[in-house]
Structure 1
Amino acid sequence: MSISIPRGTQDILPGDVELWQQIEKKARQLCEKYQYQEIRTPIFEHTELFSRGVGDTTDIVQKEMYTFEDRGKRSLTLRPEGTAPVVRSFVEKKMFGFAKQPVKLYYMGPMFRYERPQSGRFRQFVQFGVEALGSNDPAIDAEVISLAMNLYKEMGLKKLKLIINSLGDKESRQAHREALINHFQPRIGEFCSDCQKRLEKNPLRILDCKVDRDHELMKTAPSIMDYLNVESKAYFDKVQKYLTQLDIPFEVDSNLVRGLDYYNHTAFEIMSDAEGFGAITTLCGGGRYNGLAEDLGGPETPGIGFALSIERFIAALNAEGIETKLNEGIDCYLASLGEEAKDYTVGLLQKLRLAGFSAERDYLNRKIKAQFKAADRLNAKYVAVLGDDELKNNIINVKNMETGEQVEVALDSVVEYFQELQ
């Protein structure tokens, strides 16, 4: 009986994984420039972290989490997102006491959500995200957004659209909340059961409903913009000013509601405008979450961050037809003729690798012609051919695969020869 891969997961094979590695490398390099440091949190956490941190009215907590009970009867959940674990670690490890403030972190790793698999969306997916904790400066909102935009741009994406909104501070959100309840309550029976439950708990989440998004009350729902107090409006104006200063185009959409309960003030999404990308155009989402650290037992700490899916990143690259140079080839392929020469290449291969060169040899006892074909498949810059006669004479023939030029090199100085070529 054959065993197949679980639905909603994928194997990333050689030939494909190199693009993943390139994106991950670019993300790490960019974070270094922005002074964000890596944090690694557990794959699973106590379920309460997500029900409290993400919000028990969200689809993630209600429908999508992989939750299980361990042998100690503890409820644990495979992490569905990265912010709550990072903030949990921030509080637990007392990072608010670090000398370097704000604390700027990034993470990269698998997340898990039980949802319907579709193009660019999996049940196990890889997220890259950043979190900046400890600053109320709207300039860091702009910085976080610029980091995400620059990552996409440095990989060649051009058809991007940034949407921003303000969810306001606690006072503004409360006023908007009451207006939403008054708006939806008379006809809430026409909405789905989820929306009916959200009316009192978190009516803002009704605006994010995919089932009732075409209902006429959605179009006339009170806008958060009409309920922003002076402080919230000034904050949002500053964010827009800084984005303009950074030459980052944006659109304000008062209907943008992030799917997690902890957001306030700045909320944003980066979307793909590429033709044929698909119905779900969001590549990246994030926002400010002042209050989350307090909810998880820490001191009052402002924070902002974003998360993006590597899978959707790659889908956007494909939609724009962007080809990236992945296989730069190896430095040298060792071809051998004769048993003694073949045995000698084992040690020579090791010397080349320890000297910093990428190198390979034949392991299938192929003829010399087949060995050259193998070198071509590996895009080898040079092929070094060693036969039993050459071994006795302490020489090796090195062929430049681009020019076809071939030279005879002393076998005991072949490593130095390649070092001089660099």
Structure 2
Amino acid sequence: MSAEAVIREVAAKARAASYELAVAPRSVKDAALHAMADALLDRADEVLAANAADVARAEASGSPANIVDRLTLTQERLDGIATALRDLAALPDPVGDVVRGSTLANGLELRQVRVPFGVVGMIYEARPNVTVDAAGICLKSGNAALLRGSSNIAASNVAIVAVLRDAVVSVGLPADVIQVVPGEGHDSVKALMRARGLADVLIPRGGAGLIRSVVEESTVPVIETGVGNVHVYVDKAADLDKALAIVINSKTQRTSVCNSAESLLVHADIAEEFLPKVIPALQERGVQIHGDEAFQAYDLVEPVTDEDYAAEFLELKISAAVVPSLDAAVQHIRRWSSGHTEAIVTDDLGAARRFTAAVDSAAVMVNASTRFTDGGEFGFGAEIGISTQKLHARGPMGLPEMTSTKYIVTGEGHVR
């Protein structure tokens, strides 16, 4: 059977299962989420064993440390994943929410309500936690999930999805609301991207190449998640101790994720005082700084290039520059940013307002670490991704972003 035929068969099963899930009450969906969390912990040994095999293969093949970190599961991370599922169960069910409603002049009652997409396809790299997050968010929002992870987490995904499918069956839902998309080659990915009419939306999550490929080649509608070329700007009115803590946390708290800072901009008026603090603090934590001439005046700072300014490093590297003004910082960000997250550190309310208005990114932080751009931190529960596009969803995508709407019109024999 061709890859296309296999994928269409899987997608057809997801479509059939989605009809049952769409009418399931919240109590059943929440019970499924709790069952999924319990099952992941009860069967942790088999999940962690499968993941260990993936990690060993990645290390043997020379995968970078940030990739190995992304695909690694530990008992602690598994505990966190299970907690996220339970937190998701506690959140309101978006399905059926009335977005707006009115009684028209002719007496018709009009309601716009949230409804599931139907079948959501996820195409993603590494990060087996995404398998669980996506399955959970899709289930809570009434969507069947088709999960196509990268080949380096194939064993983990098979083990995780087997656990999740058993869990949803235990509460009376069809197993096919959660499926691994079979195949490890590009043919299966391409077939999923062409399954228009069976898959309702695709969400790519990974590097720039993956996202570009899905956006450009898919005939199924795509919600684009973006890479994180994230900036921190330290304004002339910044509290420098506060700024130092924010820069360090934004860059080093976890480097392999998309909300980690990749570029540092410092206002010229405070550079002479701030650079001697921030440069050694970053270097003590192993960060390699690629800086402009002002930064290069200090030891062990490498010259910065346009490639550095454009890079999502996902490791202990950062580009850095001194800028003459807030507007210059904004211009730099407009040129190099991927539209994910930017931060300003300042005690000047006017500067903060100008920055937040002028910077066109999905999230803008004022006196806070860029690491807060996250569905869990925003109180959305586990996120399915961070959208950097402007249509349908932008920023961390939680439950409401995984729904569409329809109009329900009620009359009493009205005719036009």
Larger radius of gyration: 1
Q: What TM-score do the two structures reach when normalised by structure 1?
A: 0.25
Q: What TM-score do the two structures reach when normalised by structure 2?
A: 0.25
Q: Which gives a bigger RCO, structure 1 or 2 (Cα 8 Å, sep 6+)?
A: 2
